Chain A
Amino acid sequence: MLKWFRRKFKKKTEETPSAEGTSPETPVQETSSPEPPPPETPSLATPVTESVAPSAEEAAEEKKLWDRFKKGLTKTRERLREGLAELFEVDRLVDQAFLEELEELLITADIGIETVNRLLEPSRRKLLLGEPLKVSELKRSLREEILRMLDLPTPPFPPEASPAVVFFIGVNGVGKTTTLAKVAWHLKERGFSVLAVAADTFRAAAIEQLVTWGERVGFEVIRQAQGADPGAVVYQGLEAAKARGVDVVLVDTAGRLHTKYNLMEELKKMVRVAGKVVPEAPHENILVLDATTGQNAVSQAKLFGQAVRLDSLILTKMDGTAKGGIAITVAHLFRLPIRFVGLGEKMEDLAPFEPRAFVQALMP
């Protein structure tokens, strides 16, 4: 195991290209998947005017996104694959030591202990009862189990409403503003008109950051001065969106630690205000999670979820070495589907999340 640990560093640079080439499942999955339902396929989901987008273009676009997704996850996959490949090399019988190594692998991917235990519990029980369990069987059941945790019903994106109001929520520094810009770019590529609301009036220059992104990507930003009441900005933003008839409004909220009562109250208020301007808004509240975050993400999801209704997750910074396993735990515990994965700092560095592909990538 130590070997694996050390090797991680050495290998990632030279192995990256070969991994792309030898990954046997992924291309197959891409072409022959019986039901390729990436959540963003705008068939029924999108407003009527947009739904006539040529499907070839859609497919090409999807492929582009898919490639990026694959590329971004390469490191993650390499890590886990190396570890798992070593483990699964010989189809031998599972023993205690094997389970322990597997546990280490899963925990170092930041999958929470509770989830890891649930994943390994059936195998442990079998082992205890003296039933023979082959490595290949364990692998299959593990993959299925993780998939079950991730495979959650994903409503269409953007939500079906006009305007559709989407809130970006999360603790400080997870990348809410950058992610919002990427989502805006993604939506614009698909032909939606987008408006952003700079409701982070707390952090110095947060508004400027969003405005700069707006210039780069090409979306309007509704803003007030720093220190303004975020509820008021939301109100003004949604009124503007209604007046201009835009399709989607993206609301950038200030980073807030989920343990701060006042800030959570402020968030609740913003959500209430949104609902007063546009019926049933916000239509989607996205919790933005940093892939490098550890077990605290569970607490984040829990407390944010107590304050406002959470609908989905976006996992950022997946282009590093963090495996983002906490997303599995959060998805599992709170039944929150992962919408997108952030894979870099450029506006196109965002990919729709595909559970099947994620698990496939993690478990070769």
Chain B
Amino acid sequence: MFENLSDRLEGVFQKLRGKGKLTKEDVERGLREVRLALLEADVNYRVVKNFVERVRERALGAEVLESLTPAQQLIKIVHEELIRTLGETPAPLDLGGPRPVPLLLVGLQGSGKTTTAAKLALFLRKKGHRPYLVPADVYRPAAIDQLKTLAEKVGVPVYDTQPSENPVDIARKALVEAKAQGRDVVIIDTAGRLHVDEAMMAEAAAIKEAVSPREVLLVADAMTGQDAVNMARSFQEKVGLTGVILTKVEGDARGGAALSIREVTGVPIKFLGTGEKIDALEVFYPDRLASRILGMGDVLTLIEKAQETFDLKKAQEFREKLRRQEFTLEDLREQLRQVRKLGSLQEVFGMLPGIGKKIKQIPFDEKEIVRMEAIINSMTRQERLNPRIINASRKRRIARGSGTTVQDVNRLLKSYEEMRKLLKKARGARGLERLAQRLLRAI
């Protein structure tokens, strides 16, 4: 859908290649592309304007004009400015103060507060905390049931909210209850509210007043458009925020709203919601979102996620193998198994730079993984280590053994070959970058 910024800038500067030095006008043309890319990523118009101004100042300095690779240089500046705007370093949750520590989640309807509350509870539980969930949305039908169900799923106790209760009382009583039960963090899920609904905003402020939460987190949808600034400013002014959780990041939204929200509220983004699975919550790293807004993928998250799920030793072995370009079908099988643990394939591939965008359009059936694994299982070890020996008769045997067809076997071998080629090109970090660029040009 959207061209990524690197592509765009490459296009602009391609014509200028061999021209030697760039003029101011050339840089302006590059900046125009930056502006368009940001607007298409849903960064607010005004925020874009200020942002481009800052980039212009730096770009017209020697950095870009004298550079031999002006496109890269400009991207680097944009990237750095994005990171600076998003807040250089990750901001951890503040869980200081007397126990239990209350956290309040607020946001528009449908931004994903309830799901996020449960994800956050699981996240904290994994970190050794003793969280407590509090449904305080008495308006949306079955919202309380939803959180109670999710609480059970993540194995965290939940306050037994009655829909007839007042949200302020609920919060206050739940806090007492949490203390009695010896919980150390209390996550309060409030009703979705429009930022122009004065009564509802006053209610959120009243809950905050009643329990003095350590964190008031705005849950915002990554797909939000230009209105993100109005919404965020309003929540900041009327309730007061300490952080932001950006949800639905796993789609193909660029998430420019994050930039807008950060700019108008000044509070850090703390987490990203990255999927429907209950553990799909990630700590926010500014540099990674910056890459995403620019359409440059997210390798770091992938590696980190892999580390969390993968057997660390196996992961290291795998990386070692990647480096040595030894990637056999055995490794592929191992990866398939790991991937199944890791979550949806699309999610994983989506984080790879350059590949992400295209792979999303390739039909990827999760069942396919099972089938692929079955095919590999039906090979001999020798075949797995050296697929070149797999001739027509071996293929027939493998197909029979795995309950598939020869075509399926061929397809698997072909994708394996492609993967191997890809990985061959992607040697080292520099290599990955170059690979991404080459891929983008080729696709």
Q: Chain B contacts of A171 at CB under 8 A?
A: 223, 248, 251
C-alpha spacing A326/B44, complex, angstroms: 14
Q: Chain B contacts of A175 at CB under 8 A?
A: 109-110
Whether, in the assembled complex, A32 has its beta carbon less than 8 Å from a beta carbon of chain B, the answer is no
Q: Are A202 and B44 in contact (CB under 8 A)?
A: no
Question: Nearest Cβ in chain B — how far from A347, in angstroms?
Answer: 11
C-alpha spacing A323/B221, complex, angstroms: 17
Whether, in the assembled complex, A317 has its beta carbon less than 8 Å from a beta carbon of chain B, the answer is yes
Nearest CB in chain A to that of B107: its residue: A173
Whether, in the assembled complex, A261 has its beta carbon less than 8 Å from a beta carbon of chain B, the answer is yes
Q: Chain B contacts of A226 at CB under 8 A?
A: 149
Nearest CB in chain A to that of B36: its residue: A113
Q: Are B231 and A321 in contact (CB under 8 A)?
A: yes
Contact-size category for A: 35 or more
Q: Are A321 and B36 in contact (CB under 8 A)?
A: no
Question: Nearest Cβ in chain A — how far from B275, in angstroms?
Answer: 9
Q: Which of A121-129, A205-213, A350-358 contacts B (4 or more CB under 8 A)?
A: A205-213
Q: Are B230 and A8 in contact (CB under 8 A)?
A: yes
Nearest CB in chain B to that of A207: its residue: B142
Contact of B344 among A202, A260, A298 (CB under 8 A): A260
- With A173-B111, A261-B346 known as contacts, the answer to whether A296 contacts B252 (CB < 8 A) is yes
Nearest CB in chain A to that of B108: its residue: A292
Q: Chain A contacts of B149 at CB under 8 A?
A: 204-205, 226
Q: Chain A contacts of B112 at CB under 8 A?
A: 172-173
Q: Are A293 and B224 in contact (CB under 8 A)?
A: yes
Q: Chain A contacts of B139 at CB under 8 A?
A: 345
| B320-375 interface (Cβ within 8 A of A) | 344, 346, 350, 360, 363-366
Q: Chain B contacts of A213 at CB under 8 A?
A: 141
Whether, in the assembled complex, A75 has its beta carbon less than 8 Å from a beta carbon of chain B, the answer is yes
C-alpha spacing A297/B250, complex, angstroms: 15
C-alpha spacing A60/B219, complex, angstroms: 41
| B98-156 interface (Cβ within 8 A of A) | 108-112, 139-143, 145-150, 153
C-alpha spacing A278/B44, complex, angstroms: 46
- With A107-B39, A205-B145, A296-B252 known as contacts, the answer to whether A260 contacts B195 (CB < 8 A) is no
Nearest CB in chain A to that of B152: its residue: A204
Q: Are A204 and B231 in contact (CB under 8 A)?
A: no
Whether, in the assembled complex, B276 has its beta carbon less than 8 Å from a beta carbon of chain A, the answer is yes
Nearest CB in chain B to that of A204: its residue: B149
Whether, in the assembled complex, A262 has its beta carbon less than 8 Å from a beta carbon of chain B, the answer is yes
Whether, in the assembled complex, A110 has its beta carbon less than 8 Å from a beta carbon of chain B, the answer is yes
Q: Are B141 and A208 in contact (CB under 8 A)?
A: yes
Q: Are B146 and A172 in contact (CB under 8 A)?
A: no
C-alpha spacing A258/B361, complex, angstroms: 10
Chain B 9-47: CB-based contact to A (< 8 A → 1; otherwise 0): 000000000000000000000000000100111101110
Nearest CB in chain A to that of B198: its residue: A13
Whether, in the assembled complex, A290 has its beta carbon less than 8 Å from a beta carbon of chain B, the answer is yes
- With A110-B227, A173-B111, A209-B140 known as contacts, the answer to whether A257 contacts B146 (CB < 8 A) is no
Contact of A321 among B230, B350, B360 (CB under 8 A): B230
Contact of B196 among A12, A108, A212 (CB under 8 A): A12
Q: Are B109 and A262 in contact (CB under 8 A)?
A: no
Q: Are A292 and B251 in contact (CB under 8 A)?
A: no
Q: Are B276 and A202 in contact (CB under 8 A)?
A: yes
C-alpha spacing A265/B143, complex, angstroms: 28
Known: A171-B248, A299-B253. 18 other contacts (CB 8 A): A5-B46, A9-B230, A107-B45, A108-B46, A112-B40, A171-B251, A172-B112, A175-B109, A202-B276, A205-B145, A206-B142, A257-B248, A292-B108, A292-B231, A295-B254, A296-B223, A317-B110, A320-B196
Chain B interface (Cβ within 8 Å of chain A)? Answer: 1-2, 36, 39-42, 44-46, 108-112, 139-143, 145-150, 153, 194-196, 198, 221, 223-228, 230-231, 233-234, 248, 250-254, 256-257, 276, 344, 346, 350, 360, 363-366
Pull 10 A–B residue pairs with CB atoms less than 8 Å apart, ordered by A: A107-B39, A108-B45, A112-B40, A172-B110, A205-B142, A205-B148, A260-B346, A317-B108, A320-B108, A321-B231
